[in-house]
Amino acid sequence: MSAALLAACGSNADSSTASHGQANVAYAGSLQLLNEHTVGPAFAKATGYGYSGRGAGSFGLSKEISSGEISPNVFESIGAAPITQLEPSRTSWYVSFAASPIVVVYNPHTSYAPTLKLISQGKLPLSRLFKLFASKGFLLGRTNPNTDPQGQAFYEMVELGVRRLHLPKGLVQQDLGPVDNPAQVFSETSLEARLEAGQLDAASAFESQAIQLHLPYISLPASINFGSSSLAKDYATASLTLSGGSVVHGVPLLVDATVLGHNATSAADAFVRYQLQTAGRRAFVHAGYNVFRPIFVGTRVPRSLRNTR
């Protein structure tokens, strides 16, 4: 199924399970394929609870939850910052359990594809990639740093890459332009669809998305791909000024989840627990994520989840 179709889809619980409660999940757009086609349906089948999902940029979802525009009972974010923005009124904890590094996916049918393939194979140096981004006519896509952690990390990845490869500092601006450059910035749920349609030469993505969509991609060194907790200090040396003037620093991009609301349902607890147990972990691994022992941060973690530590 194409990403274009997936961008428009969500899932609703079978009416026969509605009386048992429903997990209403707001999730980072990069989790769309996994949640809508694997985890959500499998969770509903295994537990009898209903499932409904909605994907978008994590910071954007956090703002919609904070304003009351949407009222999910589970929030899955990339990076903890969008969740901690909801503390203490809507939650007081989160759990980290998976990660996927940033990669550069590319369309195999554009005029730049042969060069990108050689870079992916290590037959051309990685420095060529950052110079290619700045080429006239090269169509690069990325998500909005103002609303999406991947968008922030991709911008910061270019900064780190240019620095570590000793390329001219001005190349960052040549590659990316303004933070919200309208020629490059698209919604997370439509970005890969545009790439597949040939509207872009290359785009930002998580490795898990590239694997699930069967897209060719260029892997990046761990020192700049934001996929390792052990390199948090290195990532933090990159920074970005958002459109509103606030400055953010690079952080590892982990999958974090929490249950929202003082009257959170057992279905919400069950959804988070499902992802931390064997079947859920297996689904994440199959989708290209690196999973690790759950790390709980904060207070008042639901009792039903504590034994999954």
Q: Is the pTM of this model over 0.75?
A: yes
Domain extents for the chain? 22-99+253-307, 102-249
d(CA 179, CA 250): 15
88 upstream amide cis, omega within 30 of 0: yes
For residue 226, give the nearest of 78, 60, 33 by alpha carbon.
Answer: 78
pLDDT for the residue numbered 262: 61
Q: pLDDT digit string (tens) for 231-261?
A: 999 999 999 999 999 999 999 999 999 999 8
Region label for 34, one of left (φ > 0), alpha (ψ between -120 and 50) or beta (otherwise): alpha
Report the CATH fold assignment for 102-249: D-Maltodextrin-Binding Protein; domain 2 (3.40.190)
Binning the chain into helix, strand and coil, the percentages to the nearest 5 are 40, 20, 40
Identical fold, 22-99+253-307 and 102-249: yes
CB atoms within 10 A of CB 266: 15
Q: Could you report the per-residue pLDDT of 19-52, keeping only the tens digit for each?
A: 479 999 999 988 999 999 999 999 999 999 999 9
Residues 6+ apart with CB under 8 A from 191: 141, 142, 143, 200, 203, 204, 205
* Radius of gyration from C-alpha coordinates of the chain: 19
Instruction: Identify the CATH homologous superfamily for domain 22-99+253-307.
Output: Periplasmic binding protein-like II (3.40.190.10)
Identify the pLDDT of residue 190: 84
Ranges under pLDDT 70 in the chain: 1-19, 262-264, 309
| Integer angstrom CA distances of residue 31 from 107, 112, 289 | 21, 28, 11
